[in-house]
A and B are shown apart, each in its own frame.
Chain A
Amino acid sequence: DQQVKQNSPSLSVQEGRISILNCDYTNSMFDYFLWYKKYPAEGPTFLISISSIKDKNEDGRFTVFLNKSAKHLSLHIVPSQPGDSAVYFCAATPRAGGTSYGKLTFGQGTILTVHP
């Protein structure tokens, strides 16, 4: 049962353009959502997060949008740079203090390639 899904295994964009990575979830108990970036031979690195009480969070070139009714979130990278080429994972976790607190449920990942 894949509770967090990233339906696009890969995405290719031109440098300077927008990259949009999508993520869907099924568990309504998820309360906090995160995006991680992973380079080969390294562990995932935290990128940006959003709480379910918000619908948008912005940090520099990265913006995460959350649509709770559709159980959908997306990561926008503008402008995209070649150094952004990596695997991007979305992850979700239930409300703090619950029995599953601390457990991240990850999507399958999307390979982003930004061409110069």
Chain B
Amino acid sequence: KAGVTQTPRYLIKTRGQQVTLSCSPISGHRSVSWYQQTPGQGLQFLFEYFSETQRNKGNFPGRFSGRQFSNSRSEMNVSTLELGDSALYLCASSQIPTGTYNEQFFGPGTRLTVL
């Protein structure tokens, strides 16, 4: 079974631009979560999507948005990029069986550098 894939793996943008990152979950997984990893803040939860609906959202400004498609693939978008948005963006997928916690499987991440 293929793992979580993220594209692109590396991205360089300039301040003020916008960026879209893509995540394909493991086949059969319907939940996709996004995290931002920075040296100072560690891994921080951005949002989670399940069945094309955003279920949870972290404490990030509205410049960060996402969506999920009917095939469970997800995209996240960051508009008006700032230098502080430079980070590793990680996507994780999981199944949602009733009543139990699901392990989240992470992709390799997209390294975004904002100049």
Q: Which residues of A contact B (CB under 8 A)?
A: 31-32, 34, 36, 41-46, 49, 51, 89, 91, 93, 96-97, 99-109
Nearest first, the 5 A-B pairs at minimum CB distance are A43-B106, A106-B43, A108-B42, A32-B101, A103-B56
CB distance from A98 to the nearest CB of B (A): 10
User: Contacts A43-B4, A44-B90 given: A104-B104 contact, CB under 8 Å?
Assistant: yes
Question: Once the chains are docked, how many angstroms separate the CA of A83 from the CA of B109?
Answer: 22
Most A CB within 10 A of own CB, among B35, B42, B90, B109: B42
Count of chain B residues near A, Cβ 8 A: 29
User: Contacts A45-B106, A99-B56 given: A104-B44 contact, CB under 8 Å?
Assistant: no
User: Contacts A43-B109, A109-B42 given: A96-B100 contact, CB under 8 Å?
Assistant: yes
**Residues of the A chain whose Cβ atoms lie less than 8 Å from the Cβ of B106:** 36, 43-45
B22 adjacent to chain A (CB < 8 Å) = no
Within the complex, which residue of B45, B94, B96, B108 is in contact with A43, where a contact is CB–CB below 8 Å? B108
Inter-chain CB contacts under 8 Å: number: 69
Contact across chains for A103 and B48 when beta carbons are under 8 A apart: yes
CB distance from B20 to the nearest CB of A (A): 19
Most B CB within 10 A of own CB, among A44, A49, A91, A107: A44
Contact across chains for A102 and B43 when beta carbons are under 8 A apart: no
Question: Once the chains are docked, how many angstroms separate the CA of A79 from the CA of B33?
Answer: 34
CB distance from B94 to the nearest CB of A (A): 7
CB distance from A32 to the nearest CB of B (A): 5
B102 adjacent to chain A (CB < 8 Å) = yes
Within the complex, which residue of A42, A97, A106 is in contact with B108, where a contact is CB–CB below 8 Å? A42
